[in-house]
Chains A and B, each alone.
Chain A
Amino acid sequence: MLENALLLIAVLALTGVLGALWRAREGRARAVSSELVLDAASLGAPLAPGVTLVQLSSATCASCPPTARALAEVAARHEGVGVVELRVEERLELVRALDVTRTPTVLALDASGRVLARASGGMRRAQVDALLERCLEPLALR
C-alpha cells in the first residue's frame, strides 16, 4: 500500500512538471532559420503583401477555433497581413514537409512565402502579436 501511495505521489509530481513544460511551450513563437518556402501554389491560397499567417487545424482540436479567432482579430489590425487556415487531413504533404506534430500549428510567411516563424499550440492574442512582431520588425528596418 505504501509503495502504491508513493507511486501516486510520483505520478502527481510528474504531472506538475509536464504541465509546466506544456504551458511554457504552448503558443510560443520561434524563429525559423531554414530556407523553407511555401508559395501560393503549394499553399493553395494567395499570399498577403506583408505577412501571411497559416494555421494548420484538425477536426479534433479544441484550441483551433479560438486560435483562428485570435489570428483573424490581429490580422485585421495590421495592414497587409492575411490569414489562411488549412486542415491537416486535407494537406498531409504540407504536414510532412513542415513536420507538423500537433494542432494548431501557425506559420508566418513573408510576401514571397518564406517561413519566418512558427508556433504550435493554442495562441492568445498577445502571442499572435509577438509572432507578428518577429516578422514585421526586419521588414520595417529595410
Chain B
Amino acid sequence: MPVPVPASSSDPVPGIDPRGPRFGAAVTAVLLAIVLLLGPTTAGGVLLAVIAALFALGTARGAQGSLQGLLFRALVRPRLPPPTELEDPAPPRFAQGVGLAITGLGALLGLTLAPVAIPVAAALALVAALLNAALGLCLGCEVYVRLVRVRAATARA
C-alpha cells in the first residue's frame, strides 16, 4: 500500500481544490455502479480493471492528476466560483491508493479465480466513493491510523 510521504516544510505542496476529489469520486461511483450491474462477468471484471487503472494514475500523480481530476479542471471548475479554501493533496492521494488496492485485487481475483470478487470489490469501493462524494468522508482519516498500528505491531513481532 503506498503511503504518501508528508510534505516537508522546505518543499511546499500547493493546495488543491477540495471539490475536485469529490467530483472524481462521483464519477468513479457511477463506473462502479455499472460494474455491479454487469455482475460477476468478464465485462464487469474488465471495467473494474479499468477503474483500478484510473486509481493507479491517481495514486501515482495525486487525485488532481487522475483522469477524473483533469476532467474536473477542464469541465467543472470553470463553471464554479473559486474555492473558499484549498486542501493538502496527500489525503485524497491516500484514498486513491486504498481504491487501487480494493479494485485491483477484485479485478485480479475476479478475472482469474473467483468471479464473485468483482461485485464484492465494486460494492466496497462504491460505498467509500459515495460517502466521499456526498459527505466528504476521508479514507485517510478512517483507516490510516489502523494501518500504522498494524505495521508497527508487525514490525515488533
Contacts and interface: CB of A to CB of B under 8 A. Distances in A.
Same complex for A and B? Answer yes
Interface of A: 1, 3-5, 7-8, 11-12, 14-15, 18-19, 22-23, 58-66, 88-89, 92, 95-96, 100-104, 121-122
A14 B127 contact: yes
15 contacts: A5-B37, A15-B126, A15-B130, A18-B127, A59-B6, A60-B93, A60-B94, A61-B91, A61-B138, A62-B91, A63-B141, A65-B87, A101-B145, A102-B146, A122-B141
A124 to B, nearest CB: 13
A88 B18 contact: no
Contacts of A103: 140-141, 144-145
Given A11-B127, A22-B135, A64 B141 contact: yes
Nearest to B40: A4
Given A19-B134, A89-B148, A62 B141 contact: yes
B22 to A, nearest CB: 10
Nearest to A12: B130
Given A19-B131, A59-B4, A8 B36 contact: yes
A101 B141 contact: no
Nearest to A60: B140
Contacts of A89: 6, 148
A136 B26 CA distance: 42
Contacts of B127: 11, 14-15, 18
B76 interface: no
A96 B148 CA distance: 11
B37 A61 contact: no
Contact of A22 (B5, B93, B94, B137): B137
A4 B38 contact: yes
A102 B37 contact: no
A122 B92 CA distance: 15
A95 to B, nearest CB: 6
Interface string B128-155: 0011001111111110111011001000
B37 A1 contact: yes
B145 A102 contact: yes
Nearest to B130: A15
Nearest to A56: B145
Nearest to A99: B149
Contacts of B38: 4
B119 interface: yes
B145 A88 contact: yes
Contacts of A121: 141
Contact of B39 (A4, A18, A64, A122): A4
